[in-house]
Each structure stands twice: as C-alpha cells, then as structure tokens.
Structure 1
Amino acid sequence: MTAMSSRLDDWVGPASGGTDMIWRRSLLMLVGMWVGILLLFWRDAADMAVIWWTSSTFNHCLLILPILGWLVVMRKTELAALVPVTWWLPLLYVAAGSFGWLLGDAASVALARQLGLIMMLQGTAAALLGPNVTRGLSFPLFYMFFLLPFGEEAVPALQLVTADMCMFLLGLFGIPAHIEGIFISTPAGLFRVAEACSGVKFLIAMVALGALISNLCFTSWNRRAIFMAACFIVPIIANGIRAFATIYIAEFRGIESAAGFDHVFYGWIFFGIVIAVIIGGAWRYFDKSPDAPAFDPARLQMPARFQVSAKAVMIGLGLIIAIPAAWPVIISAQVPPLPEQIDLPRPAGWQIVDHQSGQHWSPRFDGASRILYARYRNRAGQEVDFFAALYDRQSEGREIVGYGQGAIDPDGGWSWVENIPAPQGAKAEKIMGAGGVLRDVVSYYRIGGVTSGSASRIKLATMKAKLLGGDQQAAAILLSAPYKGKASQIAAINGFANDMGNIDKVADQMMGVR
C-alpha cells in the first residue's frame, strides 16, 4: 500500500494531505469498479480486443488505448489542482449504458453491447471523480468511443458510392463501361467493387485521427468542424479515384498490371498520402499552441452539485450494472428446445430431386441449431432450392440476421447485385456467382409471431422475445433458383411459395411453435 501511495503521489503531483487522500481513494474506487465491470462483461471486452487484433479495419484501435493514457498524463498537472467528489447524476448515464447493453444482448447486436460497456466505464469514472474532474477529462472520456469497432455497416453504401465515382470518372475519360450494382464491365473485363475496396478501413481510421488532431491543434469549433468534414469526405473521394485508377490501368496495361498496382498502392502508402493531403491543407489553420495546457483548472473550480456519499454511489453503480448481466440468464432458462424430428415441406405438385447440378450455393447462418436444404422440381421442370436455418435461441455468434449472414456467404463465392421486388413479408435479391452466374433469392425470417424480410423488424421482434420472455425460436426460410440463360426464375420461386402454403405455419411447424 505504501508503494501504491507513492506512485499515486507522483501522479497527482504535490498537494495537501487531504486532497492527496481524496485522490487516492477516488482512483482506488475507480480502478476497482472498472475491474469489476470488465470482469462482469469480459466477453464483450474480449470480443473487442480480438477484433482490434484480427481485423485490419480496426487495427488502429490498438493505438487508442495508449493514446487515452497519454491524453490523461498530459492533463496530470491541471487535474492535480482539482478535487474529486462523488455525485449521482452520472448514474443516469450508466443506467443508459446498462439498458443499451441489455437491448444489444436481446437483439444479438454486439456493437450495442460494446457501446453499453464503454458508456458504463465512462459514467463510472464521472460518478466517482465529480463534475469538475469530469470536465477536465471530457476529451479522453469522449475518445473512448473510438475503441468501438464500428463503421463496417457503411460498407454496402460506400461500395455503391465508389462504383458510381468510378463510372463518372470512366465516362469523363471516355472509357465505355456498364454498371450493375457493384459490378462494372469495361472492354478490359468485369470488375467488382469488393468490400475491401469500399475504403471503410481508411475512413474509420481517418475520422479517429481527425478527432485527435482537432482536439490537439484547434481551439475554434468552426475549424474543428471543417477539419472533421475533410477527414470524412477526402478519404471517400480518394478511394474512388484509387478504384478508378485500377480500372484505368487495366484498360491500357492489362488486369495483371492493375492488380499489382492496387496491391502495392492500396495500403499504408494510400493512407499516408490521404493523411498528408488533409494535414498539409490544414496546417496553416492550426490555432492552438503545442505548449498550451489541455484546460484551465481555474475555470473548472465550481461548486459540485448533486453530491452523495461514496458508499451510495458504489451501491448504485453495483445495482445498475448487475441487472443487465443477470436478466438474460433468467430469461434464457425458460426457452424450450426445437423438435427432435423436423420434416421438409411437401408442397403439392413438387418433389425433392438431386441438387448436385449447377454452381453450389449455400447461405450462411452461423450457430444455427438445425439446417435443412433440398431442391424441388415440378411437372413443368421448374426447379427451386429450399433452405431453412432454425434456432432454438439466439446469442453472440448465433444471430439469424446480421452482417455476413443470409443469402450471401462472404466466403462462398457469391456477391450481391441488387434488390428486386419481393413478396409481402420477404426480402428478394439478385446475386452473382463465379463466371457471372445469376440467381434470385427470396428470404423470410420469423420469430415471436413476426414474419419479415426486414432485418430491423426481426431484430426488434428478437429484442421483445428476449426482454419479455416470449418465444425465442427463430427460422430463416430461403427460396432460390438460378437463372436459365438470362431469364429470371422468380416466377418459379413465387409458385413454389404459393404451393407450399402459409409461410408462417410452415416456419412454426418446423420450430415446434404452437
């Protein structure tokens, strides 16, 4: 304890004995609460760490932790002039994070749980350090949001933006091209604006870097806003130019040369150029001296309102944080299993046939309790593939809807082309496989009495079932057929669905829901 006190004394700097004891007590309570929170929600913390380490999109998050420590150390002299207190107002923020975690767990949205975890850590620090210290630490506490692995949800939109920019530039340079979804065909070949070509990894990292530079180098909020807008817009434009350049080189030097250029250039070289352009353009407008203090402690010396005892704050924090961790365990104990015997539907006029012919297509539903797959043919020779994924319950890694789940397995060789008109309560899309093979897919999702092709509606129904204890069995039923030449077989899919009967009853029978 003596050694720890000495280190704390060094950290907070010279102060009176009373202030020193208050800082020591506050920091010990904060460390204890943070350790308790991280142990209670260790799966979410571990998931974030794994994503930081394994996903190139979020490797920059590994730098955020030391940056946070550096930002706090930068403020140690100013913070030492403030006195921490305990107050109850941040408990509302902690409660919002706690409830957000519970909603994220109910909807199997990892990002919502991770956001809730970050908010609980932030709110705990504010509750145990007081309003004045919290204002002094406002930017480091805000910057904790960049620990979240968020942004990949923008990949589809960025793919379309990149494809449209390529088409504009190709037209500007007189290169004939045709676009279908995210596929661009030119005389040199067919190009796909893949997920990795969306530019999302550089956009996310640039926004995080931009927020740090805005705090360190600007005092004017107008300049900060303009700089952050540049950190958002310039990487998108630069990525579109990079993608166009790859196609342009392929037109005149061949696809192999273009692939070599893209492989070498699309990395830290590209990101370094983008950073240099943005910072170089903003350099002359930096209006904050490098020697300027992070904040003026004299301006933060205000009477602290809403103070309560440390004991009351610790009890409040413990109750607020423990409830969401316990609730899912209570609800999940009430979930019955799926039936042992699950039969494929037998629509009139259709029979199950061998499905070895054609390019293999297999949707992706990680963690499904049961998978059923069959090909049907009617008397007219029309063929339709039936696929069902059934879940007795959903949890982390076992979500019926989510990124990378559904008709397109990111590792399965198929890519989304466009959405097409869908039957009521379904989602329909055209997908493309190797060699330009096309296929239509109609997807139905059902849980808690709700059938829809909308991921958001299914997420809401899942949340309701997991929060209130309703039926948690979930089913995904996908009907699909490959094109015959250039002819869509959506009519065959719709005919099969009509002959199969009410999709709600089919799904409920397979799940054993009465």
Structure 2
Amino acid sequence: MTPFPEGEGAGVSSSPLAPASVASTHPQPLPFQGGELAIVPAWRKPLAHLAAAWLAILALFRRDTVDMAAIWWNDSNFGHLLFVPPILVWLVWQRRQALAEIAPRAWWPALALVGAGGLAWLLGEAAGVALVRHLALVLMLQGAVVMLLGPHIARALFFPLAYALFLVPFGDFLVQPLQMLTAEMCMALLHLFGVPATMDGVLIRIPNGYFEVAEACAGANFVLAMAAFAVLAAHLCFRSWRRRAAFLVFALAMPVIANGIRAFATIWLAWLTDIDTAAGFDHVVYGWFFFAAVMALVVATAWRFFDRAPGEIAIDPARFAPSAATLKPVLALALVVGLVATPFIWSRVTAARSAAVTHIDLPAVPGWRRTAPAGEPWAPHYAGADLRLMGSYVDASGAQVELAIAAYARQDEGRELVGFGQGAIGPGSRWIWTSAAPGAPHARAERITGPGGVVREVLTFYRVGGQMTGSETRVKLETMKARLLGSDPRAVAVTVSGTDRAAIDRFLRDLGPIEGIL
C-alpha cells in the first residue's frame, strides 16, 4: 500500500518546501478557533451519526476489537501498531481547515463498502481466520465514514482512511521466509570470513556451538514497523511517485540487510571468542535501539531527496461538486447498523449446529507393536480438541514411530485444527521448526529439531467436510464452507512422526489408507 495526495491536480505551493495553501471560494468557520475546539454546525449531526455507527460496530465485534488491541500490546511483531491510532488522529487534524469547507452528506453507494466488510467478516469467522475478521472490522469502520460523511470527505481523508489498514496485525507469513533469508545471509558472510559453518534449515553450526535463527531473530518486527513508517514518510515527504517507490524499496530492504549482518556478527563473535560473549553482544545490539539506528540511517540517506514539506496538504474544496447520490442521515445510519449486524446474527445461528465425535481406539498395525515412548518427549499440540489419542509403535528392526489423532466436533475460536500454536510444535515446546520435509500424498510434511540436535519428521493428514488434505489453506476453506452451509463441522488431524523417514514410510504402508482412520 502506498499513499497518494488527495485531490489530484489540486492547488500546490510555489515552492516544494513551502506550506501549501488551501483554495476555497466559500470560506467557512474553521473547526479550530481561538485555541478551543469548535465544530462547524454542518458537521455536528454527521459526526454524531458516525460516532453511533462506530460504537455499534465496535460493540457487535468487540471480540475482534479486543483481540486486535491485545495483539498490539502483547506481540512484539506488532507493538508499533500502538502508534497508528494517534497518527490517524494527527493526519485528520492536519486536514481540519479543508474539511470545514466541505459539507458532509450521507452517500448510499458506500453501502457496497460496508457490505463487503460484513461479508468478509462472515467468511473470516466461518474459516476461523482472525486476520480476515480484523481486516473486515477496519473495512466496516472505513465504510461507515464514506457512507455517513460522503465521497468528498472520503476523498479529502483518503490517506488517513487507507493508512488505517495498518491497524490490522498483518505479516506473520513473513517470519519463516525471513528466518531462511537471514540464515542464508549468515552462511554467505561466514564463508566469506572463513568461518567453517554448516546450515540445516534455520540451524547454523560452527565448531564451538550451534545457533538457531529463531522467529524472534528473523527481523519481521523490524520489517513490519519499517513498512508502517515508510508509507507514512513517503506520503508526507515526497510528491513524486518514483521517489516514493524508490524510498519504500530502500526502506524495506535496509532492516532485512541490517538484521542479516547483526545475526552474522553474533555468530562470528562466537567463533572468535565464545558463546556467552556472543549472546551478550546480541542482547545489547538487538532490540528497538537497533531498529532506531536503521530508521535514522534510512531517513538520513533519503533526506536530500525530499520534495514535499511535511505539513503540505493539497486539497481544494472548491473542486468538490455536490453529489446526487445522497440519502437521509438517519436512514443511512440504520442501513449501516443493519448491514453489519446481519453477518453477526447469521454466524450465531450457524454456530449452534454441531455433530458428535465418535470414540475410537488407536489401530493395530501389522508388523508393528505398541511400545513406550523413547528419546526426547514429543507430542503434537491441538488445543481444545474433543478427542486426543497418541501411541508409539516399534517394528522388528527397532524403528519407532509415533501416531497421534486429534478430533473436533466443531472448530471455534482458540480450538481450531490449524492456526497459531497448533500442529507439530506447541507453545513452549523444546522442539523448533527447521524446514519443510519431502511430502507425501495429502500430507503436510515438516522437519523439527529437538534438544541435542535430534531431528524428527512429521507428516500431518487433515480431514474436514469429508475432504482429506495436507494443506492448511484447504482446511480453512473446507471449514468455512461447513460453517456457512451448516454441513458436518467435524474435523480431525492424524499425525505420524519419527526420526527415520524410511520407518515412517513403512509404517504408513503397513497402516493402510489414512482415510480409514480419518
């Protein structure tokens, strides 16, 4: 997402760094007079209607509102989002003089935007995807602004409305790619400096120790924070689209490169000294001071290319002709509330439907016998499952394989087949995800590493809505379909794991079709 100046072609200042003037042929009282806040009379009822609509939306979807705020506060990847609400207030305040000269009018075509937000929320609720629900909540709030204040206000507030998308905690998908990229950068630099190092997924080994490029070290929090900062800076400091694009590319590349160098420096220091010294160095360098230094470097490098004063706002209210698609404000408010309440009510109606989970036992597998677990303890994590079974099997050669089953009568928030913390590794586990593993039909294949460097492969088979798959995306789609249509909501995961892939393949062959268990 990149911003663009409101009112394309509107009046601009004669000097690139001079304050912009707001042109108007019909001056009106400004909303800020005499040091006190004064609301233009034409704005009082529309603002009251907007406040009522926002309160209704936030109350109906309070679970998602609280969830988003909790993520901002608790998740280090999204701590920077706490600054977005005050930034939005400041961006609107910058435009107060121009807004005072535009009469707000309820605009019925914006029902499409409100409806799209409501439909997106329903799909996100049905699929159990919090990201979609959070995005839909912001879309409904944006749609209410356009619906109750009109297209000209929305045009004048285009950038603040667009920037509100940063309220959505988005970007977790970057963690694993950034882990791998950071590890690859470390390896290249270590070899360049003559350090004998080997890599296994996100694990890097040197003669005097081994290091994990953990999720917290991937630099995703820096990249996401830089994205929010860079979009704001590109809007405030540049007019040229080329300069904006170049600045965004440069700003997003810098934290990735800097994080790779930081990780390399930690391992290189361990090679020259010891692990404890390197850990101390990493704790000193790593953190928001590191990000602040990178951000300062980005700004210092781009400073000479700024071509727009930070306070310059190019909005010409005189160019905004009255809209013909208006409707009564009270009716507009009723339509907004009714439209956002419909998907909420439908989700509650379908949530009452459920199905039973049949009791089953672990199967007998020809050529294998049940045994006690051995080695580093491991078990998949499926919070809230209605049925959990796990057993260890050993064959005549002594190879051992674990089989686990988790079943849900119905998936709900916090008890889902796929999601954060669900699957091969649970929260607080001593095992870490290493890489993807060679696949098998209808299975999700992963490689994980435990204490002492023990490597285990994990194959997971899912079944939802009568469909077997190894794709988490397919699980979400089938879950969404079952919830929307009221069909069988039961879901199950069968996990087969071991330290020897050949033994896993033999076990699956002797077990027979997985569908028989699913």
* Same fold (TM > 0.5): yes
CA change 1:186–1:297 in 2 (3 A) is: same
Instruction: State yes or no: 1:466 paired with 2:483.
Output: yes
User: Does 1:395 pair with 2:412?
Assistant: yes
Structure 2 residue 411 is matched with structure 1 residue 382 = no
Q: 2:155 matched to 1:123?
A: no
Please name the residue that 1:327 is paired with: 346
Deviations 1:20-52 (A, max 9, x none): 443111000000000000000000000011111
Q: CA RMSD in A?
A: 1.8
The AA in structure 2 aligned to 1:322 is A
Equivalent in the alignment of 1:512: none
Structure 1 partner of 2:128: 108
The 5 Å alignment of 1:318-467 reads 318-339=337-358, 341-355=359-373, 357-467=374-484
TM-superposed deviation, 1:188: 2.9
Per the alignment, residue 202 of structure 1 pairs with: 222
Q: Distance in 2 between matches of 1:57 and 1:109?
A: 18
Q: Which amino acid aligns with 1:302?
A: A
Contact kept? 1:376, 1:385, Cα under 8 Å: yes
User: Alpha-carbon deviation of 1:300?
Assistant: 4.3
Task: Give the Cα–Cα distance (whole angstroms) in 2 for the partners of residues 182 and 149 of structure 1.
Answer: 25
Q: Give, in whole Å, the separation in 2 of the partners of 1:348 and 1:481.
A: 18
Q: Distance in 2 between matches of 1:35 and 1:11?
A: 23
Deviations, residues 166-216 of structure 1 (Å, cap 9, x unaligned): 111112222221111111112232111110110000111111111111122
Contact kept in structure 2, 1:385 and 1:481, CA below 8 Å: yes
Go from structure 1 to structure 2 and tell me whether the alpha carbon gap of 1:410 and 1:178 turns closer, same or farther (over 3 Å shift).
farther
Deviation of 1:378 (Å): 3.1
Secondary structure of the residue aligned to 1:284 is helix
Alpha-carbon contact 1:136-1:300 (below 8 Å) kept = no
Measured in 1, the distance between the counterparts of 2:142 and 2:477 equals 27
The aligned residue for residue 249 of structure 1 is 269
Greater RCO structure (CA 8 Å; 6+ sep): 2
Shift of the 74–272 alpha-carbon distance from structure 1 to 2, 3 Å rule, reads same
Query: Are residues 157 and 290 of structure 1, via their aligned partners in 2, closer, same or farther at CA, if it must alter by over 3 Å?
Result: closer
Distance 1:54 1:216, change over 3 A: same
Deviations 1:328-374, CA, capped at 9 Å, x for gaps:
221122212323x332222233332222x210012122222222111
Given the superposition, is the C-alpha separation of residues 410 and 479 from structure 1 closer, same or farther in structure 2, using an over 3 Å criterion? same
Q: Which moved more, 1:127-136 or 1:373-382?
A: 373-382
- The amino acid that maps onto 1:324 is P
| Cα distance in 1 for residues equivalent to 2:502 and 2:270 | 39
In 2, Cα distance between the equivalents of 1:475 and 1:316?
A: 40
Q: Does 1:174 align with 2:191?
A: no
Q: Which amino acid aligns with 2:315?
A: D
Q: Is contact 1:432-1:438 (8 Å) kept?
A: yes
- How far apart are 1:398 and its partner, in Å? 1.3
- Residue aligned with 1:361, SS: coil
SS of equivalent to 1:446: strand
Distance across 2 between alignment mates of 1:211 and 1:102: 30
Find the aligned partners of 1:442 and 1:146 in 2 and give their Cα distance: 36
Q: Determine whether 1:83 maps to 2:103.
A: yes
Residues in 2 aligned to 1:205 and 1:386: alpha-carbon distance in whole angstroms: 41
**Counterpart selection for 1:66 from 86, 107, 124:** 86
How big is the shift at 1:410? 4.4
Structure 1 counterpart of 2:327: 308
Unaligned runs of 5+ residues in structure 1 are: 1-8, 483-488, 508-514
1:211 to 2:222 alignment: no
Point out the more displaced range, 61-70 or 496-505. 496-505
Task: Give the counterpart letter for 2:179 in structure 1.
Answer: Q
Q: Secondary structure at the match of 2:326?
A: coil
Separation in structure 1 between the aligned mates of residue 311 and residue 283 of structure 2, nearest angstrom: 41
Query: Which is worse superposed, 253-262 or 218-227?
Result: 218-227
Aligned partner (choices 278, 295, 307) of residue 314 of structure 2: 295
Alignment partners' CA distance in 2, 1:351 and 1:197: 42
| Residues 299 and 286 (structure 1), Cα distance of their counterparts in 2 relative to 1, 3 Å cut | farther
Q: Partners of 2:357 and 2:33 in 1: how far apart?
A: 62
Give the corresponding residue for 1:502. Answer: 513
1:149 to 149, 159, 169: 169
More helix per residue: 1
Residues 136, 295 of structure 1: 8 Å contact kept:
no
**SS in structure 2 of the partner of residue 59 of structure 1:** helix
- Residue number in structure 2 paired with 1:486: none
User: 1: distance between equivalents of 2:417 and 2:324?
Assistant: 47
Q: Secondary structure at the match of 1:352?
A: strand
- Rounded to whole Å, the distance in 2 between the matches of 1:266 and 1:380 is 48
- The residue matched to 1:96 in structure 2 has which SS? helix
Q: Tell me how far apart the structure 2 counterparts of residues 300 and 229 of structure 1 sit (CA, whole Å).
A: 34
Structure 1 residues 22, 455: closer, same or farther in 2, change over 3 A?
same
Cα separation, 1, equivalents of 2:310 and 2:228: 20
Residue 310 of structure 1, CA deviation: 2.1
Is there any run of 5+ residues in structure 2 with no aligned partner, and where? Answer: 1-28
1:6 maps to none
Look up the SS of the partner of 1:39 in the other structure. helix
Contact kept in structure 2, 1:135 and 1:300, CA below 8 Å: no
The amino acid across from 1:44 in the alignment is D
TM-score w.r.t. the length of structure 1 is 0.91
Q: How many percent of aligned residue pairs carry the same amino acid?
A: 45
Supply the AA of the counterpart residue of 1:296.
I
CA spacing shift, 1:300–1:195, aligned 2, 3 Å: farther
Write the distance in 1 (CA, Å) between the matches of 2:293 and 2:319: 40
User: What is the identity, as a one-letter code, of the residue corresponding to 2:278?
Assistant: A
Report the alpha carbon displacement of residue 308 of structure 1 after superposing the two structures with TM: 2.3
Cα distance, 1:454–1:290 mapped onto 2, change above 3 Å: closer
Q: 1:291 to 1:317 in 2, by over 3 A?
A: closer
Write the distance in 2 (CA, Å) between the matches of 1:273 and 1:454: 40
Q: Secondary structure at the match of 1:60?
A: helix
User: Does the 8 A contact of 2:382 with 2:422 survive in 1?
Assistant: yes
1:381 Cα deviation from its structure 2 partner:
3.0
Amino acid paired to 2:339: I
- Which amino acid letter does the alignment assign opposite residue 388 of structure 2? I
